[in-house]
Amino acid sequence: MITESNLQAESAIARDVVPAGDYYLKTVKAGQTFRILDLEGNQAADTLFYNANDIAERYSAMDTIREQGNVYLTAGTQLISNFGHTMLTIVADTCGRHDTLGGACASESNTVRYDLEKRCMHACRDSWMLAIAENETLGLNKRDITHNINFFMNVPVTAEGGLTFEDGISAAGKYVELLAAMDVIVLISNCPQLNNPCNGYNPTPVEVLVWDA
Ligand SMILES: [Zn+2]
């Protein structure tokens, strides 16, 4: 569902450009809103969420899908945790829908799906691992890398239940905006994938903006 935001970029309290292949790791407080802006279009932002006060609580794809009765995420979607709580709500979305079925790229999946030679290509899982290694005080380890959302990624489900990675439906300037219902650790891998169309074969930066309540 296309829903535009009333928030102005000039009033944001933080703005960070995240290059393709890099990560974004920040805590967004309850009541704050943040936006992921697809600067150049067709870019997947692979995102994990944790309760900042109890990292055992994190985003759950299955609880989110079941509670809303739909596999696509868009404006109005409540992102539900493994404890059944609303962590965030998507309050604006100019892309239209986002994926939470496709998972994130890893060197292992690149090797299996594409070629043995792809094993050393940078992948989202590497960025998340680097993020948690460089931020040890959060207490996250690789067992905490679980369900993710692929903002802007197009993974249509066919009538028969088929799943494919398709060319993106996002474009330069499209964004998704989320209101935090609790203090949330936001961990984004700005996807470096080059083997499928999720980034239009040309990974590009995204920008993350945060507003106070
Ligand atoms: Zn990726």
Gap from CA of 151 to ligand 1 centroid (Å): 11
Give pLDDT < 70 ranges for the chain: none
Gap from CA of 6 to ligand 1 centroid (Å): 30
Give 122-152 pLDDT, tens digit per residue: 899 999 999 999 999 999 999 999 999 999 9
Q: Please tell me whether the overall predicted TM-score, pTM, comes out greater than 0.85 for this model.
A: yes
The residues, any chain, with a CB within 8 Å of residue 164's CB and separated by 6 or more, are 155, 156, 158
Q: Which sequence spans correspond to the domains of the chain?
A: 9-211
The residues, any chain, with a CB within 8 Å of residue 39's CB and separated by 6 or more, are 17, 172, 173, 204, 205, 206, 207
- The conformation of residue 173, written as its DSSP 8-state character, comes to T
3-state DSSP percent of the chain in helix, strand and coil, to 5: 20, 35, 45
Cα separation of 121 and 6, whole Å?
A: 39
Cα separation of 64 and 77, whole Å?
A: 8
What residues have their beta carbon closer than 5 A to ion ligand 1?
105, 124, 191, 193
Gap from CA of 37 to ligand 1 centroid (Å): 17
Gap from CA of 212 to ligand 1 centroid (Å): 29
